[in-house]
Amino acid sequence: MRYFAPQIICAMIGFGLLGSAKGLDEGLIATTVDLPSFIREFGLHAGDLSAAEQANRLSNITSMVNLGCLPGAVLAFLLSDSISPLRTMRQLCLLWIVGVVLVISSAGNYGQLIAGRFIVGLGIGQAGIIGPIYLAETSPTAWRGLLVGIYASSEYVGVLIGYFAGYGASLHMSNANNRQWIIPQSSQIMMAGLILIVSLGCVESPRYLCQKQRNAEAMRALSRLRTLPEDSPEIQDEFQSMRRQTSSNSDKKRGRSLLTSWKLLFGDTVNRKRLLFLLSAQLLSQWSGTNAITSMSPFHSISYAPKFFALLGMTGSSEKLFKTAIFGAVKLASALLCAVLFLDRFGRKRCLMLGITLQVLALLYMAIYFTALPTGSNESPSAHRAAIAAIAATYITGVGYAFGWNSIQYLINAEILPTAVRTLGTSLLMCVHYANRFALTKAVPTMMLADALQPKGTFWFFFVVALLGFGWGLVLLPETSGRKLEETSRLIS
């Protein structure tokens, strides 16, 4: 195979853009809840509500998608096994659209708004399972890191679209017209529709078909993905490798397939070891600090990044929001660079170690900065220069995370878990992923308080977690690049 097959290109665009779903919602809701038209329509500052009730209403609106993502991750496993990964992708896009329609047609109905955002979460919560698994199972060995890396990178595409759509509406649309928040929210329908259309050019995962013992269909799908005839040595070799892994675990009785996956995942000692290994990766990646800077806070009307920049001495909401967008653009460029040039050429381990090294050094500087200047004061020239360096360190953490954990956390889930338990294990791991992202939104504002860890203690905590991640990657992470998908799971046994 000398070039990308049309089906691979469709997979790269369609399944790759699934990663934008979560980022798009985060970018949109971060700006939407600060728009005067939205605040007025849903009574976020209503006089008959106490301060606690106002905060609770805002928290419910911003966090409801995260809550919906948890059952969405479980739904992905159930549907993927029963109706196939490709059809599950189309289903989640439809569910996503239904949720957005409920949101934009709520017309001040708080209950409908909450229900719509929960359904949005049910849809996009499935993307973190279906996207990376499908891309890993259909991509050629030499391009697996690239395709899954594109999925991981597209989250930042969504964040940027969401930020600029909301920010543009705040500048150019009347505060008295509800179209100010409805039109930006509608961009999710366009994204979901684009993914649906592109999915028409995709083929079903040959590994899913092989696991279901639909071998003839699996051979045809693999042939189309590799643009090689079915009787070619390359196709025969890859197909036989798939059959060897699935033959011992496949169950001809489909009614027992779900129970079989649970037994294989938790009843097999090696699979439990793999699951715990991947669970530790999720915890270390989510609490390494970078996501905390850009995570959604239910107690603030926009993401935590602008608040952090304000802590460093930046004033003006437009300036803070613009610098937040630049932060997202830096992460997007870094993630794409890693996916296109580094993941497959230099390997997963080297990319992770480079990324964590940048994170550790940047977080160490920020921890020292907030220890020396607890209030972020920058009145003196030296303090001002130190604040500028702290801002630069913030961008470096974004570059480091994009090079390291951003892609690795999705890629190794698909590579380390064998076919028979890949979807179930990834679904459970993404439940942990979404739960930790939700926990970040709740914990970070509290951690920053003067009677808690304060900024200095918070960043020392992030530094320690990042340092632990460095040790984890150096000692425990195997190199999976250049190996067939059926070989990578055997690296942890």
Residues 410-428 have a mean pLDDT of 92
What pLDDT score was predicted for residue 376?
Answer: 54
Work out the angle at residue 267's Cα, subtended by the Cα atoms of residues 263 and 272, and round it to the nearest 5 degrees: 115
Q: Which of 38-42, 192-196, 259-263, 414-418 has the lowest mean pLDDT?
A: 259-263
Residues 395-399 have a mean pLDDT of 89
CB-based burial label for 253 (10 Å; 0-12, 13-18, 19+): exposed
Domains of the chain, with CATH numbers? Answer: 1-202 (1.20.1250.20), 256-492 (1.20.1250.20)
What pLDDT score was predicted for residue 145?
Answer: 94
Report residue 314 as tokens: 């930046």
Cα distance between residue 150 and residue 345, in whole Å: 15
> 333-338: long-range contacts at Cβ-Cβ below 8 A with a sequence spacing of 24 or more?
334/398, 334/399, 334/402, 334/403, 335/149, 335/152, 335/153, 335/156, 335/402, 335/403, 335/406, 335/407, 336/149, 336/150, 336/153, 337/403, 338/149, 338/402, 338/403, 338/406, 338/407
Q: What DSSP element (H or E) covers 57?
A: helix 51-83
Question: What distances in angstroms separate CA 124 from CA 33, 134, 253, 314, 468, one per listed residue?
Answer: 20, 15, 30, 34, 31
Q: Residues 201-244: pLDDT tens digits?
A: 999 999 999 988 899 999 999 999 999 999 999 999 999 988 88
Q: Residues 18-73: pLDDT tens digits?
A: 999 999 998 898 889 888 999 999 988 887 888 778 878 888 898 899 889 999 99
Rounded to the nearest integer, the mean pLDDT of the chain is 87
What pLDDT score was predicted for residue 440?
Answer: 79
Q: What is the pTM of this model?
A: 0.89
Percent of the chain scoring above 90 in pLDDT: 59
Q: Residues 325-350: pLDDT tens digits?
A: 777 788 899 999 999 999 999 999 99
Cα distance between residue 425 and residue 138, in whole Å: 19
Q: Residues 434-474: pLDDT tens digits?
A: 888 878 777 777 787 777 888 889 899 999 999 999 999 99
Q: Does the pLDDT of residue 302 top 50, yes or no?
A: no
Q: Residues 155-204: pLDDT tens digits?
A: 999 989 998 898 889 888 998 899 999 999 999 999 999 999 999 999 99
Residue type, 489: S
What pLDDT score was predicted for residue 309?
Answer: 57
What pLDDT score was predicted for residue 493?
Answer: 80
What pLDDT score was predicted for residue 316?
Answer: 56
Looking at the chain, how many residues does it have?
Answer: 493
| pLDDT top residue among 82 and 189 | 189
What pLDDT score was predicted for residue 394?
Answer: 85
Q: Does the pLDDT of residue 134 top 90, yes or no?
A: yes
DSSP 8-state assignment for residue 340: I
Residues 262-275 have a mean pLDDT of 93
